[in-house]
Structure 1
Amino acid sequence: MINLSAFEDKIKKGIIDNCYIFCGLDEEMIKDKIKLLQKKVLSENFMDLNLVRFDGDTLTSFDPVINACETLPFMEERKIVVVYRGNFLGDKDDGGKKTLYNELNNYIKSIPTTCILIVYYVFKDKREKPSSKIYALDKKTIVVKGDKIYGRELESKVKNIFAKKDKDIGNVELKLFCSLLPTDMGIIENEIEKLCCYVLDREIKKEDIYALLNKKEDDDIFDLVDLIGDKKVKEAINSLNELMYKGDKANEILFMVERQFKLLYKVKYSLERRMSREEICGEIKLPSFICEKLINQSNKFTLSKLLRALEICLHWEKTMKSSSLDKKIQMELLIIETMTA
């Protein structure tokens, strides 16, 4: 199993295999690497004829994919067949998904040299890891894990995006910009576009970044839980919608809300045991300013209400994995239930 950087290095060196399995949380980053391969292999003139795409969610049989792979490319040495959102690569194993996976597994060694088959699977949340199915395929072909990028690698990538827009950004401003955003390239590109439009022809300043990105993810979750504690239904729903608009997935928001209630429960329990603020900070191993926020926020809840909120979060976590109901609606119901607990 290789990471996205290793994949990119191989493509730039012209080392190209005829099958790739991608997995990871950031779909935009995966699609970005697939586009890199497309540009390396296919000419612009015949891209539409030699690039075939299938929606993994709607596939009932792998036969159409196999037929596309077996068809010769038009005026090119190779063609590319992409199966996007191949959810049959996840742990869930109902009859249809198991069949699709088995058909892919059996076909991998038979892919003709005139075709490159790409299948990618997007993780549902931050806690998901590559499934046993993906590890089994790693023994037969190239599996690329789309881990988040951080530090200098992220800063370099972001700086290049600014450069493509003919916009320069200083090192201090670049570090600040990267620190205020989740490492999701789709969100980052949108925020770069907004920042460039905001400053127009002048240089980017720290004040501009703060003006557009004045809140971190943790602050948003504190706000959401505060509104739950104050029983402000409309405002809490609006806060949820704002988080989802920024690109956070319902599963990720649920994870953060659940984590927040767990921390609040620990803090509330410690306060009732008459522990000092310094002792609580040492117990939960978080910075003092975060501890202060948690202590203040815990005053809005009783221990029993925090315990009930955690039970509700666990219930909806299980429901989201098995229900076809819209995730946004499920999150709204979760928020309403925690307020009325």
Structure 2
Amino acid sequence: MDLKTCVKEIQRGNPRSIYVLYGTEKYRLQEFVQFIIQHTVSEEHRDLALSKYDTAETPIETVIEEAETPPFLVERKCIIVKDQTIFASGREGKIEHQTNRLLTYMEQPLETSIIIFVIQADKLDERKKTVKLAKSVGAVLSFLPLSAEELVEWVVKQVEKQGCSITQAGVEALLNSAGTHLQSLSAEINKLCLFTGAGGTIEIETIERLIAKTTEQNVFQLVEDIVRRRADRALAVLHELLKQKEEPIKIMALIVRQLRIMLQVKELTGQSFTQQQAASQLGLHPYAVKVAAEQARQYEPQVLARWLATAAELDYEMKSGRVDKTLGLELFIMRIAAGIMKEARR
């Protein structure tokens, strides 16, 4: 089932009777649930027309009985069902479900009821009859992390909804500052558009002024400056983090994490993995993989491996007290930057 097709059906007043929504992108999934509700049940009737269940607490036959009961004073009703066991492979709880009741209902659902199953999992259990039937009737819709390109497009559309615009450089700066979590991005976009005003354009300067970077995002910028041969800027970011009382060993750990991701992405893409496949393999957001691939593009895996070895040695020296933590980080940045320049001259 295609999301755009579903949206058009709902807008035309022809919603489906059953939706099985799954995925780890909670923000978009909940946004779609609210979209269904807004277009199928008037606000003044929602107390009568909305009901919520959890299959961890309620047997599925109770949900089916609710769906088979005619709506009261409204044209149709929405039944939202949180699930981890009927469609996914979550641990079975104390509730025993008569899934045959659901299978029978799915073959001939009532138009007066809309059942929305919400499964927060990265995949459904393909072995189950419920999943097979749901797919055959076109009820399944996935909400997995957006690809890097889709994420950029999503940001642009969210900004345009607010009556503003944003430059391509602005999108990258926003993602580098706020991360890839859609709920956080939405809040930051609202703030930026409110500041910019209708018809305005969000620039990098505005983003740097209004959005405070997390420690993780600052370390990401530090690594970015290192691989772009900007040792002076990397040191400036380091000193700013230290002013904020960040622990040097934590900073070192985050640097190592980003270097390891760069090496892993380099190796996987070298094995013909797409960035989307690499993201799935590493459990990362596709945009993070895209950025890591860009950072690692001009360096051989052996170079990245040497950086990691250097970082591991320094981490041991810092933890054992053989080197001052701050001095160790500064030397590490300068050694890596010098190594980059040496590699560039070869």
Q: Deviation at 1:192? A: 1.6
SS in structure 2 at match of 1:138: helix
Q: Deviation at 1:178? A: 6.1
* 2-structure distance, mates of 1:221, 1:80: 49
* 2-structure distance, mates of 1:68, 1:290: 61
Q: 1:161 aligns with which of 158, 163, 170?
A: 158
Conserved 8 A contact 1:60-1:96? no
Q: Deviation at 1:97? A: 7.1
Cα 1:92–1:45 change in 2 (3 A) is closer
Q: Does 1:190 align with 2:187?
A: yes
Post-superposition CA distance 1:106-135 (Å, at most 9, x none): 432353221011101112xxxx43321334
Cα 1:213–1:290 change in 2 (3 A) is farther
Q: Does 1:172 align with 2:183?
A: no
Letter in 1 for 2:102: L
- For 1:282, the equivalent position in structure 2 comes to none
Conserved 8 A contact 1:46-1:74? no
Post-superposition CA distance 1:63-105 (Å, at most 9, x none): 3322321232232221110113545422245365773655533
Q: Deviation at 1:199? A: 5.6
Letter in 2 for 1:22: L
Cα 1:59–1:235 change in 2 (3 A) is farther
* 2-structure distance, mates of 1:98, 1:290: 55
Cα 1:88–1:170 change in 2 (3 A) is same
Aligned length: 253
Cα 1:209–1:72 change in 2 (3 A) is same
- For 2:309, the equivalent position in structure 1 comes to 298
* 2-structure distance, mates of 1:9, 1:66: 27
* Unaligned ranges ≥5, structure 2: 225-245, 268-294, 317-346
Letter in 2 for 1:219: F
* 1-structure distance, mates of 2:181, 2:80: 22
Letter in 1 for 2:71: P
Cα 1:286–1:162 change in 2 (3 A) is closer
Please report the TM-score for the alignment, with normalisation by the length of structure 2: 0.57
- For 2:123, the equivalent position in structure 1 comes to 129
Conserved 8 A contact 2:155-2:171? no
Letter in 1 for 2:308: Q
- For 1:119, the equivalent position in structure 2 comes to 117
* Unaligned ranges ≥5, structure 1: 224-233, 244-255, 267-284, 306-341
- For 1:277, the equivalent position in structure 2 comes to none
* 1-structure distance, mates of 2:258, 2:148: 26
Deviates more, 1:58-67 or 1:38-47: 58-67
Please report the TM-score for the alignment, with normalisation by the length of structure 1: 0.58
Superposed CA RMSD in Å reads 4.3
Conserved 8 A contact 1:62-1:100? yes
* 2-structure distance, mates of 1:237, 1:55: 43
SS in structure 2 at match of 1:22: strand
Q: Deviation at 1:288? A: 3.6
